[in-house]
Structure 1
């Protein structure tokens, strides 16, 4: 069964018929490289919508790996399952999550991807704890967002209201949740080719406390 973190509004570039256009401005290969995806891994795609990122991740982890595609919209998950079937991808499992809990299995995920969905989360610290609990030892979380120029240096609330979020805020929240930033890319191009919407990405590992 396929699934993704739910974002209730319909957002452009997330429907399958718009994926080719999205390929023109989103460097998925670079994102996967930054994350360090390897064959055979289990990765989670949080807020997967109809599966744009999930399809690429399924190819990246190969037939011995698995993609956990999570969303709170059953409709989107059904569309994702259809898209996967059309491409002959059988290593994607959907998860119908909740707004407060992605319902990922504990200690099974190598990398959690949160692509343009973190700013939608009403309880980010709680979600980060859930992501942390889903990770294997040495697991990572990848958060990618867009920062709009009109809300740069504004408060978190102002950024979120603009469907945007900056890396400084997310870095602090990751560190507060026990994660350590291990890689970053603060200019991954322009969202929808709009120079006022800069794409950035942080990769973090959970730091286990000494017993």
Structure 2
């Protein structure tokens, strides 16, 4: 999972202090965890998973990641234009950010993470590779701090299911995308496939992803099943969407 861990100690405790079996207006509810790998907070009926902190940075850069996840295939499936502005949310060490940067030489990659430690690591890697069109962005658990209406593609790889505030993040992503053309590429392990060797709470079904993106006003475009273990789900901001 790409990094989306909260930087402030104890931040999660406030999310589960009050039990409620009735979803609020955004679709959240607090109740005892049914899976110990998740927190006592649910969104649209889905239990939110515990996050991977900056201590897991080496896992993001593991040698077999490209083969295991088909990362080169994923990058090609985005069909980026040289001038695109791309936001990599949950960028972590910049595994995808720097690969995307090479494909948008006249554009920009906004590498978003909420952990200062990951941003520092990303900047160190940038000094070594010299890719100047990557801008590290320190976001929060509810706002990726992206420019309104300026982003062509938002990429989230194996991180969305860990977001503490998926509704607020979804609304912020919709606002950042260009009206009518801006796309969200959501990558999550296939929950429908029991052979994918990932804990169930770190997977997502197509139906659940469509439900959650619809709740923030994003239109489903298609799902591409070209990756070994993950869904690649594409959504779009409608032209008339505020």
TM-score normalized by the length of structure 1: 0.80
Residue 163 of structure 1: how far off its partner (Å): 2.2
Supply the distance in 1 between the matched residues of 2:183 and 2:157 (Cα, whole angstroms). Answer: 14
CA offsets 1:27-84 (integer angstroms, 9 cap, x no match): 223222322211011100000111101111111112x111000011111111111112
Q: How many residues align?
A: 192
Partner of 1:59: 102
More helix by proportion, 1 or 2?
Answer: 1
Query: Within 5 A, what are the aligned runs for 1:35-74?
Result: 35-62=78-105, 64-74=106-116
Aligned equivalents of 2:120 and 2:183: distance in 1? 27
Counterpart of 1:181 in structure 2 is: 220
Match of 2:125 among 56, 72, 83: 83
1:128 aligns with one of 158, 162, 170: 170
Say whether the 8 Å CA contact 2:88–2:155 is kept in structure 1. Answer: yes
Query: CA 1:166–1:151 in 2, change beyond 3 Å: closer, same or farther?
Result: farther
* Contact 1:16–1:52 (CA under 8 A) maintained in structure 2: no
Q: Secondary structure at the match of 1:128?
A: helix
Q: Indicate if the aligned counterparts of 1:50 and 1:76 stay in contact, CA closer than 8 A.
A: yes
Instruction: Normalising by structure 2, report the TM-score.
Output: 0.71
Question: Distance in 1 between the 2:215 and 2:54 partners?
Answer: 30
Give me the whole-angstrom Cα distance separating, in 2, the residues matched to 1:79 and 1:49.
Answer: 8
Describe how 1:1-40 pairs up with structure 2 within 5 A: 6-7=4-5, 8-10=51-53, 14-15=57-58, 18-40=61-83
Question: Bigger relative contact order, structure 1 or 2, given CA contacts below 8 A and separation 6+?
Answer: 1
State the superposition RMSD in angstroms. 2.7
Aligned with residue 202 of structure 2, among 144, 163, 169 = 163
Preserved CA contact (<8 Å) 1:6 1:97:
no
Alignment partners' CA distance in 2, 1:18 and 1:210: 37
Closer, same or farther: CA 168–17 of 1 in aligned 2, 3 Å? closer
Residue matched to 2:143: 101
